[in-house]
Amino acid sequence: MKPLLAILSCEADALLEVGQRATFLKNSPIEHRFFRGRGQDLKHADVVNLNVQDDFNSLPFKTQAMLAWALANGYTHVFKCDTDTYVRPERLLTSGFERLDYAGYFVYDPCPGAYGSGGSGYWISARAAALVTCATFIPDYPNERTGDHSSRGEDLQVCWALRDHGISCVKDERYRLREPGPLRRNDYITLHDVIKPIKSLSRMAEVHQEFLNS
């Protein structure tokens, strides 16, 4: 097996990358990469620039390009998350990902079924990734009712592409959208806190320290 921790990023999130490198990525037992759009980062060996736009609307295409890169480089499984996600990499490796094609935290959408949230993170196998890279994706347009993005988010489109091939997301509540996040006394793996978002270096450090002190 050759798993990859894949973090969708962009040039504007460079400081959030710093926060992740300084906390859970330090001495991580799983290989990781940050995936940005077009550009060039010569400072960090863990940044991959993909041939897609580096804006929010293009996240679905960035996800497809990221999965294509992972397949081309021999990765058997990919865990996708964001720059405002806190992760315990050692728990990723013992999560049971190798038995599944698609797993994450259920978020219900208007369609039947559920999808793995890209914020709390989801696992996808090479078999499933190959199907996603061949799917027809569209930009992530703002929601007509709320004006917010993600009415066609990358995670939704991944789910729909896999559903077309009979692959459903396996629900795993260890990938967290809300607090509490990973602590030594629980088995939680990630935190993408929509109540108190991790949007700064100090917040990422706080969550990391909470784990170390628990």
- Read off the pLDDT of residues 115-146 as tens digits, 9 standing for 90 and up: 899 999 999 999 999 999 999 999 987 666 66
**Which residue type occupies 155?**
D
Is pLDDT at 156 greater than 80 in this prediction? yes
122 three-class SS: strand
CA 14/CA 126 separation, integer angstroms: 28
135 three-class SS: coil
Is pLDDT at 206 greater than 80 in this prediction? yes
CA 195/CA 46 separation, integer angstroms: 30
CA 129/CA 187 separation, integer angstroms: 27
CA 47/CA 78 separation, integer angstroms: 16
Give the relative orientation of helices 154-163 and 126-133 as an angle to the nearest 10 degrees.
Answer: 100
Is pLDDT at 95 greater than 60 in this prediction? yes
CA 209/CA 136 separation, integer angstroms: 41
* Preceding amide of 89 cis, omega within 30: no
Helix residue ranges, H only, 88-181: 89-93, 126-133, 154-163
Where exactly are the structural domains of the chain? 3-213
Averaged pLDDT for residues 175-203: 90
Averaged pLDDT for residues 173-199: 91
Residue linked to tokens 């994450």: 104
Question: pTM here?
Answer: 0.93
Please provide the CATH number assigned to the domain covering 3-213.
3.90.550.50
CA 32/CA 197 separation, integer angstroms: 22
Averaged pLDDT for residues 33-50: 90
Burial (CB < 10 A; 0-12, 13-18, 19+), residue 76, is: middle
